[in-house]
């Protein structure tokens, strides 16, 4: 679960200022520090503590939900097992690789949905 929390925080641009402020081991210590800092701002009714920041600080539910499909930014994603016997399939993905010009091709094996207090995060 710690890896999920770190991944979501690390990919949330609204917390960049807090990451710049923190001066220690990011992956191990930042999530707990961030939670404490935002809870203090929330208790003090600080207007900089938005509902989304508070939700990120509280973290996701402890158990994710496994889903067969989801829509992200208007694109439908489906796991491979759901598409196996269908005539039209939508489980393939293509992403840029680490090196320029490289592409990663694959199939979605699992989609996990993590519920926060104000939103849900989907991880493939």
Each residue's pLDDT tens digit, 28-77: 899 999 999 999 999 999 999 999 999 999 999 989 999 988 888 888 88
Whether residue 106 sits in one domain with residue 79: yes
pLDDT tens profile 74-91: 888 888 887 777 777 666
Domain hosting residue 75, numbered range: 65-123
Whether residue 117 sits in one domain with residue 77: yes
Last residue of one domain, picked from the residues 58, 73, 88:
58
The structure's pTM equals 0.75
Angle subtended at Cα 59 by Cα 54 and Cα 64, rounded to the nearest 5 degrees: 140
The DSSP string of 1-64 is -HHHHHHHHHT-GGGHHHHHH--S-HHHHHHHHHHHHHHHHHHTT-TT--HHHHHHHH---SS-
**Which tokens go with 64?**
């994710």
β-pair type (92-96, 120-123): unpaired
Quick one: which of 13, 21, 49, 52 has its CA closest to 29? 21
Whether residue 46 sits in one domain with residue 78: no
Whether residue 73 sits in one domain with residue 38: no
Whether residue 112 sits in one domain with residue 90: yes
Whether residue 119 sits in one domain with residue 69: yes
What's the total number of domains in the chain? 2
């Amino acid at each position: 679960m710690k890896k999920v929390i770190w991944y979501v925080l690390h990919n949330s641009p609204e917390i960049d200022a807090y990451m710049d402020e923190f001066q220690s081991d990011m992956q191990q210590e930042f999530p707990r520090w961030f939670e404490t800092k935002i809870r203090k701002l929330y208790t003090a009714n600080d207007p900089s503590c938005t509902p989304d920041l508070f939700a990120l600080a509280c973290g996701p539910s402890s158990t994710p939900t496994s889903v067969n499909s989801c829509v992200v930014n208007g694109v439908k994603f489906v796991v491979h097992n759901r598409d196996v016997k269908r005539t039209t399939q939508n489980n393939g993905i293509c992403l840029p690789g680490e090196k320029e010009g490289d592409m990663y091709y694959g199939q979605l094996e699992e989609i996990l949905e993590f519920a926060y207090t104000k939103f849900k995060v989907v991880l493939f």
